[in-house]
Amino acid sequence: MTRVGSSLALALLVAWMVQSLAMVALAPLAATLLGVATGAAAVAATRSKVIGGARALLAPCGVMLPALARGAMAARLGVDLPGFSAVELAVFLAGYTVFLLCAFGVIQFDLYRLGYAPGPVAGMVLGMCAYAGLTGHWGLAVVAVLGQVFWVMKWGSSNWFDYVLHFLLWPIAAVALVASAF
């Protein structure tokens, strides 16, 4: 993604983390404002070469992780957004685990290479859009299409998966799945 895009993604992720922690002691609006201010400060701080490596830890952020952060922050402010069911989270975790096992070479098939080719990418985007249409998760369609737009425009990675997946999605989905049981 462009520097502006990665800065926005970093600001959203920091704001989300700070808002989550601040919700323990502050009202939702105050926690959100503190998160946004901290996210902006983090982006300003990463302009220096010393702290700039923090951005690289999360790069590429893609579209999905910042979208989830924005959605979680909005939900805490009372915006009604569709959530993911336990079955959806479990299916995602299983599929993403297979994807990661392929990426690490444990399973001898390279799923990641499909993200370089227009045909498979178009099929995956259409599949995500169809699923979003059936379930009402319009955010998935937005993420899929934005990821494809960024990929086609070459605004970062040459692989579509880098826009719609991130290694942090696995622990986030795992925590969400456990939380949905309570």
Cβ-Cβ contacts under 8 Å for 99 (sequence gap 6 or more):
111, 112, 161, 165
According to the model, what pLDDT value does residue 48 have? 63
According to the model, what pLDDT value does residue 56 have? 61
According to the model, what pLDDT value does residue 128 have? 94
According to the model, what pLDDT value does residue 50 have? 52
According to the model, what pLDDT value does residue 156 have? 78
Weakly modelled stretches of the chain, pLDDT under 50: none
Q: What's the rounded Cα separation, in Å, for the pair 176 and 86?
A: 8
According to the model, what pLDDT value does residue 30 have? 95
According to the model, what pLDDT value does residue 155 have? 83
The domain ranges of the chain are 1-80, 82-182
According to the model, what pLDDT value does residue 111 have? 92
